[in-house]
Protein backbone atom coordinates (compact mmCIF):
# COMPACT_ATOMS: atom_id res chain seq x y z
CA UNK A 1 0.00 0.00 0.00
CA UNK A 2 1.08 3.58 -0.56
CA UNK A 3 0.21 6.71 1.37
CA UNK A 4 -1.49 9.62 -0.39
CA UNK A 5 0.23 12.98 -0.13
CA UNK A 6 -1.35 15.69 1.94
CA UNK A 7 -3.14 18.43 -0.07
CA UNK A 8 -1.54 21.85 -0.26
CA UNK A 9 -3.10 24.27 2.20
CA UNK A 10 -4.60 27.40 0.68
CA UNK A 11 -4.51 30.80 2.32
CA UNK A 12 -7.51 31.40 4.52
CA UNK A 13 -9.85 34.32 3.74
CA UNK A 14 -9.25 37.55 5.63
CA UNK A 15 -12.58 37.19 7.46
CA UNK A 16 -11.51 33.79 8.78
CA UNK A 17 -8.17 35.17 9.94
CA UNK A 18 -10.01 38.04 11.63
CA UNK A 19 -12.33 35.56 13.35
CA UNK A 20 -9.34 33.57 14.60
CA UNK A 21 -7.76 36.72 16.05
CA UNK A 22 -11.07 37.72 17.61
CA UNK A 23 -11.45 34.32 19.27
CA UNK A 24 -7.93 34.49 20.70
CA UNK A 25 -8.65 37.99 22.01
CA UNK A 26 -11.89 36.78 23.59
CA UNK A 27 -10.11 33.89 25.29
CA UNK A 28 -7.55 36.29 26.77
CA UNK A 29 -10.25 38.77 27.79
CA UNK A 30 -12.14 36.02 29.61
CA UNK A 31 -9.12 35.32 31.79
CA UNK A 32 -8.46 39.02 32.46
CA UNK A 33 -12.07 39.82 33.38
CA UNK A 34 -12.29 36.84 35.72
CA UNK A 35 -9.08 37.84 37.47
CA UNK A 36 -10.47 41.38 37.87
CA UNK A 37 -13.68 40.03 39.36
CA UNK A 38 -11.71 37.87 41.77
CA UNK A 39 -9.43 40.76 42.75
CA UNK A 40 -12.28 43.17 43.49
CA UNK A 41 -14.57 40.60 45.15
CA UNK A 42 -15.26 41.58 48.80
CA UNK A 43 -15.31 37.90 49.82
CA UNK A 44 -13.20 35.34 47.96
CA UNK A 45 -15.15 32.31 49.15
CA UNK A 46 -15.22 28.75 47.82
CA UNK A 47 -18.25 29.30 45.60
CA UNK A 48 -16.67 32.26 43.85
CA UNK A 49 -13.48 30.25 43.32
CA UNK A 50 -15.40 27.41 41.65
CA UNK A 51 -17.40 29.73 39.40
CA UNK A 52 -14.28 31.71 38.50
CA UNK A 53 -12.33 28.56 37.66
CA UNK A 54 -15.18 27.29 35.48
CA UNK A 55 -15.46 30.60 33.66
CA UNK A 56 -11.70 30.70 33.03
CA UNK A 57 -11.81 27.20 31.58
CA UNK A 58 -13.87 28.71 28.79
CA UNK A 59 -10.68 30.26 27.47
CA UNK A 60 -9.60 26.73 26.59
CA UNK A 61 -12.92 26.15 24.84
CA UNK A 62 -12.23 29.22 22.71
CA UNK A 63 -8.89 27.67 21.72
CA UNK A 64 -10.72 24.50 20.67
CA UNK A 65 -13.10 26.67 18.64
CA UNK A 66 -10.10 28.28 16.93
CA UNK A 67 -9.02 24.80 15.84
CA UNK A 68 -12.49 24.11 14.43
CA UNK A 69 -12.48 27.41 12.53
CA UNK A 70 -9.01 26.86 11.10
CA UNK A 71 -10.06 23.38 9.99
CA UNK A 72 -13.25 24.73 8.42
CA UNK A 73 -15.46 22.49 10.54
CA UNK A 74 -19.24 22.80 10.15
CA UNK A 75 -19.70 22.41 13.91
CA UNK A 76 -17.82 25.68 14.56
CA UNK A 77 -21.00 27.75 14.17
CA UNK A 78 -23.19 26.15 16.86
CA UNK A 79 -20.17 25.65 19.10
CA UNK A 80 -19.29 29.33 18.84
CA UNK A 81 -22.88 30.44 19.43
CA UNK A 82 -23.45 28.50 22.64
CA UNK A 83 -19.92 29.30 23.88
CA UNK A 84 -20.49 33.03 23.37
CA UNK A 85 -23.93 33.00 25.04
CA UNK A 86 -22.90 30.97 28.08
CA UNK A 87 -19.67 32.94 28.48
CA UNK A 88 -21.63 36.18 28.78
CA UNK A 89 -23.84 34.62 31.46
CA UNK A 90 -20.93 32.95 33.26
CA UNK A 91 -18.98 36.21 33.49
CA UNK A 92 -22.04 38.36 34.15
CA UNK A 93 -23.07 36.35 37.19
CA UNK A 94 -19.67 37.07 38.76
CA UNK A 95 -19.70 40.79 38.01
CA UNK A 96 -22.86 41.35 40.04
CA UNK A 97 -21.87 41.54 43.70
CA UNK A 98 -24.01 40.29 46.55
CA UNK A 99 -24.28 43.78 47.99
CA UNK A 100 -23.71 47.25 46.64
CA UNK A 101 -22.70 48.41 43.18
CA UNK A 102 -20.36 46.24 41.08
CA UNK A 103 -16.81 47.63 40.70
CA UNK A 104 -16.22 49.78 37.61
CA UNK A 105 -13.31 47.65 36.24
CA UNK A 106 -15.50 44.56 36.35
CA UNK A 107 -18.35 46.30 34.54
CA UNK A 108 -16.01 47.66 31.86
CA UNK A 109 -14.44 44.25 31.40
CA UNK A 110 -17.84 42.61 31.15
CA UNK A 111 -18.96 45.16 28.54
CA UNK A 112 -15.80 44.53 26.51
CA UNK A 113 -16.23 40.76 26.72
CA UNK A 114 -19.89 41.02 25.72
CA UNK A 115 -18.91 43.09 22.68
CA UNK A 116 -16.29 40.50 21.70
CA UNK A 117 -18.79 37.63 22.02
CA UNK A 118 -21.35 39.52 19.91
CA UNK A 119 -18.69 40.17 17.26
CA UNK A 120 -17.81 36.45 17.23
CA UNK A 121 -21.43 35.43 16.63
CA UNK A 122 -21.87 38.09 13.92
CA UNK A 123 -18.78 36.89 12.05
CA UNK A 124 -19.80 33.24 12.38
CA UNK A 125 -23.31 33.77 11.05
CA UNK A 126 -23.18 36.91 8.91
CA UNK A 127 -19.89 36.67 7.02
CA UNK A 128 -20.23 35.04 3.57
CA UNK A 129 -16.51 34.23 3.54
CA UNK A 130 -16.72 32.43 6.89
CA UNK A 131 -19.87 30.66 5.72
CA UNK A 132 -18.07 29.33 2.64
CA UNK A 133 -15.10 28.28 4.77
CA UNK A 134 -17.00 26.29 7.41
CA UNK A 135 -18.06 23.39 5.21
CA UNK A 136 -15.75 20.57 6.21
CA UNK A 137 -16.31 17.51 8.36
CA UNK A 138 -13.90 15.65 10.62
CA UNK A 139 -10.73 14.09 9.21
CA UNK A 140 -9.78 10.44 9.53
CA UNK A 141 -7.96 7.52 7.94
CA UNK A 142 -9.59 6.40 4.70
CA UNK A 143 -8.61 3.25 2.80
CA UNK A 144 -9.67 3.44 -0.83
CA UNK A 145 -8.25 1.77 -3.93
CA UNK A 146 -5.25 0.37 -2.07
CA UNK A 147 -4.33 3.82 -0.76
CA UNK A 148 -4.32 5.00 2.85
CA UNK A 149 -4.99 8.70 3.24
CA UNK A 150 -5.74 11.09 6.08
CA UNK A 151 -8.55 13.26 4.78
CA UNK A 152 -12.05 14.47 5.35
CA UNK A 153 -14.53 11.72 6.14
CA UNK A 154 -17.81 12.36 4.34
CA UNK A 155 -20.70 11.34 6.59
CA UNK A 156 -23.00 8.65 5.25
CA UNK A 157 -26.12 10.33 6.54
CA UNK A 158 -27.80 13.25 4.83
CA UNK A 159 -26.53 16.76 5.67
CA UNK A 160 -27.69 17.83 9.12
CA UNK A 161 -29.54 21.13 9.56
CA UNK A 162 -27.55 23.79 11.36
CA UNK A 163 -30.28 24.23 13.96
CA UNK A 164 -30.02 20.56 14.92
CA UNK A 165 -26.28 20.96 15.44
CA UNK A 166 -26.98 24.04 17.57
CA UNK A 167 -29.48 22.10 19.69
CA UNK A 168 -26.96 19.31 20.14
CA UNK A 169 -24.12 21.60 21.24
CA UNK A 170 -26.40 23.59 23.56
CA UNK A 171 -27.69 20.39 25.19
CA UNK A 172 -24.13 19.22 25.86
CA UNK A 173 -23.70 22.18 28.22
CA UNK A 174 -26.41 20.89 30.57
CA UNK A 175 -24.08 18.58 32.48
CA UNK A 176 -21.33 21.11 33.35
CA UNK A 177 -23.94 23.76 34.12
CA UNK A 178 -25.41 21.35 36.69
CA UNK A 179 -22.12 20.08 38.10
CA UNK A 180 -20.66 23.54 38.80
CA UNK A 181 -23.44 24.66 41.22
CA UNK A 182 -23.48 21.16 42.71
CA UNK A 183 -19.79 21.57 43.51
CA UNK A 184 -20.49 25.01 44.98
CA UNK A 185 -23.28 23.51 47.10
CA UNK A 186 -20.79 20.95 48.37
CA UNK A 187 -19.26 23.69 50.48
CA UNK A 188 -22.47 23.77 52.52
CA UNK A 189 -21.58 20.30 53.79
CA UNK A 190 -18.34 21.69 55.15
CA UNK A 191 -20.38 24.35 56.96
CA UNK A 192 -22.23 21.69 58.92
CA UNK A 193 -25.37 21.25 56.77
CA UNK A 194 -25.20 17.46 56.80
CA UNK A 195 -28.84 17.28 55.73
CA UNK A 196 -27.77 18.59 52.34
CA UNK A 197 -25.53 15.57 51.63
CA UNK A 198 -28.20 13.44 49.86
CA UNK A 199 -29.32 16.41 47.76
CA UNK A 200 -25.76 17.28 46.70
CA UNK A 201 -24.99 13.65 45.82
CA UNK A 202 -28.22 13.43 43.83
CA UNK A 203 -27.28 16.67 42.06
CA UNK A 204 -23.90 15.25 41.05
CA UNK A 205 -25.45 11.96 39.90
CA UNK A 206 -28.11 13.79 37.88
CA UNK A 207 -25.49 15.98 36.21
CA UNK A 208 -23.47 12.94 35.14
CA UNK A 209 -26.57 11.01 34.01
CA UNK A 210 -27.70 13.96 31.90
CA UNK A 211 -24.44 13.92 29.95
CA UNK A 212 -25.01 10.28 28.91
CA UNK A 213 -28.69 10.89 28.16
CA UNK A 214 -27.88 13.85 25.92
CA UNK A 215 -25.12 11.91 24.16
CA UNK A 216 -27.48 9.00 23.42
CA UNK A 217 -30.40 11.19 22.39
CA UNK A 218 -28.51 13.56 20.12
CA UNK A 219 -26.81 10.69 18.31
CA UNK A 220 -30.23 9.59 17.05
CA UNK A 221 -31.42 13.19 16.69
CA UNK A 222 -28.89 13.74 13.90
CA UNK A 223 -30.16 10.58 12.22
CA UNK A 224 -33.64 12.02 11.95
CA UNK A 225 -35.40 10.02 14.65
CA UNK A 226 -38.55 11.81 15.79
CA UNK A 227 -38.48 10.19 19.22
CA UNK A 228 -34.99 11.61 19.80
CA UNK A 229 -36.28 15.13 19.22
CA UNK A 230 -39.07 14.60 21.74
CA UNK A 231 -36.64 12.92 24.11
CA UNK A 232 -34.32 15.93 24.07
CA UNK A 233 -37.26 18.17 24.95
CA UNK A 234 -38.10 15.97 27.95
CA UNK A 235 -34.44 15.91 29.02
CA UNK A 236 -34.38 19.71 28.87
CA UNK A 237 -37.50 20.00 31.01
CA UNK A 238 -36.17 17.43 33.50
CA UNK A 239 -32.89 19.34 33.82
CA UNK A 240 -34.75 22.55 34.65
CA UNK A 241 -37.04 20.81 37.13
CA UNK A 242 -34.07 19.26 38.94
CA UNK A 243 -31.51 22.05 38.80
CA UNK A 244 -33.52 25.20 39.52
CA UNK A 245 -35.16 24.05 42.80
CA UNK A 246 -31.80 22.71 44.04
CA UNK A 247 -30.14 26.03 43.20
CA UNK A 248 -32.80 27.88 45.16
CA UNK A 249 -32.74 25.51 48.15
CA UNK A 250 -28.98 25.02 48.56
CA UNK A 251 -27.61 28.28 47.14
CA UNK A 252 -30.44 30.72 47.73
CA UNK A 253 -31.81 33.36 45.39
CA UNK A 254 -28.27 34.50 44.59
CA UNK A 255 -27.34 31.00 43.41
CA UNK A 256 -30.59 30.67 41.51
CA UNK A 257 -29.72 33.78 39.52
CA UNK A 258 -26.01 33.08 39.09
CA UNK A 259 -26.26 29.38 38.24
CA UNK A 260 -29.84 29.04 37.03
CA UNK A 261 -29.71 31.80 34.41
CA UNK A 262 -26.95 30.19 32.28
CA UNK A 263 -28.80 26.87 32.31
CA UNK A 264 -32.07 28.54 31.34
CA UNK A 265 -30.31 30.29 28.43
CA UNK A 266 -28.90 26.97 27.19
CA UNK A 267 -32.32 25.30 27.55
CA UNK A 268 -34.08 28.10 25.66
CA UNK A 269 -31.50 27.90 22.86
CA UNK A 270 -31.94 24.13 22.65
CA UNK A 271 -35.74 24.30 22.48
CA UNK A 272 -35.67 27.18 20.00
CA UNK A 273 -33.20 25.31 17.78
CA UNK A 274 -35.40 22.21 17.82
CA UNK A 275 -38.38 24.38 16.91
CA UNK A 276 -36.54 26.00 13.99
CA UNK A 277 -34.96 22.82 12.66
CA UNK A 278 -36.91 21.06 9.91
CA UNK A 279 -38.06 17.54 10.57
CA UNK A 280 -35.43 15.43 8.80
CA UNK A 281 -36.02 12.24 6.87
CA UNK A 282 -34.85 9.23 8.89
CA UNK A 283 -31.65 7.66 7.57
CA UNK A 284 -30.71 4.00 7.95
CA UNK A 285 -28.35 3.22 10.83
Distance CA 173, CA 193 (A): 29
pLDDT of the residue at 21: 93
pLDDT, one tens digit per residue, over 244-253 is: 999 998 888 8
Select the more confidently predicted residue: 131 or 99: 131
Q: With the CA atoms of 138, 143, 148 and 150 taken in that order, what torsion angle do they form, in degrees rounded to the nearest 10?
A: 0
pLDDT of the residue at 190: 62
pLDDT, one tens digit per residue, over 160-173 is: 567 888 888 889 99
pLDDT, one tens digit per residue, over 66-86 is: 998 988 888 888 889 888 888
pLDDT of the residue at 3: 47
pTM: 0.73
Amino acid sequence: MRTAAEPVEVRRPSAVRALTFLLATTAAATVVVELLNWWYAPEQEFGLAVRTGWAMLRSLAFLVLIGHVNSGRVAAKPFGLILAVTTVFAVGRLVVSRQGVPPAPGLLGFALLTGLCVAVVVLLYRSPAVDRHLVRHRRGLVVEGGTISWREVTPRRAPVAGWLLTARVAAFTYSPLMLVPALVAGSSILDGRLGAVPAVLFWFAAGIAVSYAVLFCTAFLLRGRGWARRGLVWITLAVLVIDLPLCWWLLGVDGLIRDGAPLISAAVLTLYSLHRAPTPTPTPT
